[in-house]
Amino acid sequence: MAAVQLLSTFATAASSASPTTPKRVGLARHAAAPYLLARQYFAGNALARRARARSTQIDAQINQQAVSVKRECKILVLGTEGSGKSTIVRQMRLHEPKGISPDDRLAARSAVVAHLLDSAHAVLDALEKLDLQFVDPGNADNADFVRGYVLDAEDKLNSDIAEAIRSLWHDVVVATLMGRSGEFRLVDNATYFLEAAGRIGADDYVPTDEDMLKARAPVGTVSQTQLQLDGMSIHLLEVGMQKSTKSRWIQAFDDITSIVFCASLGDYDAQATGTTRKALDESLVLFEDTVNSSWFQHTSVILLLTKLDLFEAKLATVPLKKYASDYDDGADVGAAMKYILRQYMNRNRANLLVYPVPVEATDPTATVCRRITLTVVKDTILQSALRTSGILC
Ligand SMILES: Nc1nc2c(ncn2[C@@H]2O[C@H](COP(=O)(O)OP(=O)(O)OP(=O)(O)O)[C@@H](O)[C@H]2O)c(=O)[nH]1
Ligand SMILES: [Mg+2]
């Protein structure tokens, strides 16, 4: 399902979660004088149209002035571990005019190779957990080879290890394993990388855009990326967080225009690393701390619901109800997303402007994040300019 198609569904869910939803005003009480009403209506409409056009013109002027005053802005990219922060930043960078440099691409090879090996280990662990044996007897040796494999200094795979992984992955027992996917968890995108073992093991392998987006590359505490969007210089500050470490770190960032909060849809069945808490609960706590913080009173929030593709695939085999007892709508993707979105919106007690967007962050062709970020940033700068000038309070 395309992310953009889901935007309206989400806007509805988001607004129904807000206590200030405006009521509709019906026209039925004017039914006694339909002709008069029609004239008044159309005259009113023409006036309204002119007023609207004028207002749009003024908005555009203020918008231009506000944005030209402020051609630089900072965006915090937040979310719990593995929620997709780096992936989103990379996806936005892919569409930069200069794109990804060949050096960056080569540097990503280590992450891809490590991800492939992690995926192979995860399959071996899952086979062990479910007590499943290889059908091809040669694969027992391949499994030992993969388990004991140490990468060379260049982090390259050789063709032997690539072939061993390929052979394990194509063993008939793996089909049985995948049929029981509700009973174990692989690392994200394991299937994608295992399918590509032969390609990744080639001597002249260079990661593609999709490889780069699908590989895990944890960063340290903060990493900064600069983007040029529509003439604006945008600093994206990714804050790596193991868990919701309350708001201790928040004060380190001032003058933030917007927050991009990554909330993984696809991890509803995951545990947060190093805790007994569910990954979703961990993310909700971090979101709650962030949006209700006095430091971000005038900051807008783009709530990116990441891993939409994994979520769609998982719902059919791993029931959401198992992890959310009050959810009753089965494998319906829209209903399940609305349920998760509601959990986030209910925590927005400060009524911050939150723009929810479901995304497949690993789609190299998608530009929705860039477009929405730009729109929200401009809007936030405009609001701030109106507040400074006293027009808005
Ligand atoms: N299929 C799919 N994979 C995703 C999506 N978003 C993120 N991932 C994968 O999830 C994994 C973790 O993503 P990262 O971007 O590294 O997560 P992060 O929030 O930066 O993690 P830390 O820096 O460790 O806190 C990577 O393998 C990504 O490719 C998505 O929308 N679809
Ligand atoms: Mg990261």
Pocket of ligand 1 (CB under 6 A): 79, 81-87, 188-189, 213-219, 240, 262, 306-310, 360-362
Specify whether the CB–CB gap between 337 and 309 falls below 8 A.
no
What type of residue is 39? R
Q: Compute how many other C-beta atoms are within 10 angstroms of the C-beta atom of residue 134.
A: 18
Report pLDDT for 12: 39
The superfamily in CATH containing domain 102-214 is GI Alpha 1, domain 2-like (1.10.400.10)
Sheet holding 232-239, edge to edge: 222-229, 232-239, 72-78, 256-264, 300-306, 354-358
The rounded distance, in Å, linking the Cα atoms of 333 and 337 is 6
| Positions of CATH 3.40.50.300 in the chain | 73-82+218-388
Rg (CA), the chain: 25
Specify whether the CB–CB gap between 263 and 306 falls below 8 A.
yes
What is the arithmetic mean of pLDDT over 224-253? 74
What is the arithmetic mean of pLDDT over 367-392? 82
What type of residue is 125? D
> What would the pLDDT profile of 39-96 be if each residue is shown by its tens digit?
454 455 676 777 777 767 766 665 565 555 556 788 999 999 999 999 999 999 888 8
Burial of 185 (0-12, 13-18, 19+ CB in 10 A): middle
What is the arithmetic mean of pLDDT over 152-169? 90
| Positions of CATH 1.10.400.10 in the chain | 102-214
Specify whether the CB–CB gap between 267 and 318 falls below 8 A.
no
Beta bridge partners, 303, equal: 261, 356
Nearest to 323 by CA among 289, 374, 277, 366: 277
> What would the pLDDT profile of 211-237 be if each residue is shown by its tens digit?
999 999 766 677 888 888 888 888 999
pTM of the entire predicted model: 0.80
The rounded distance, in Å, linking the Cα atoms of 189 and 120 is 11
Locate 216 and state its tokens.
């895990």
Q: Which atom of ligand 1 is nearest to the CA of 264?
A: 6
Burial of 107 (0-12, 13-18, 19+ CB in 10 A): middle
Residues in the chain: 393
Flag whether pLDDT at 345 surpasses 50: yes
Q: How far is the CA of 82 from the centre of ligand 2 (A)?
A: 7
Burial of 57 (0-12, 13-18, 19+ CB in 10 A): exposed
Q: How far is the CA of 160 from the centre of ligand 1 (A)?
A: 29
According to CATH, the topology of domain 73-82+218-388 is Rossmann fold (3.40.50)
Q: Which of 80, 118, 208, 216 to mutate to test the pocket of ligand 1 (most atoms within 8 A of CB)?
A: 216
Check if the interface score ipTM surpasses 0.90.
Answer: yes
Q: Which of 78, 81, 86 to mutate to test the pocket of ligand 1 (most atoms within 8 A of CB)?
A: 86
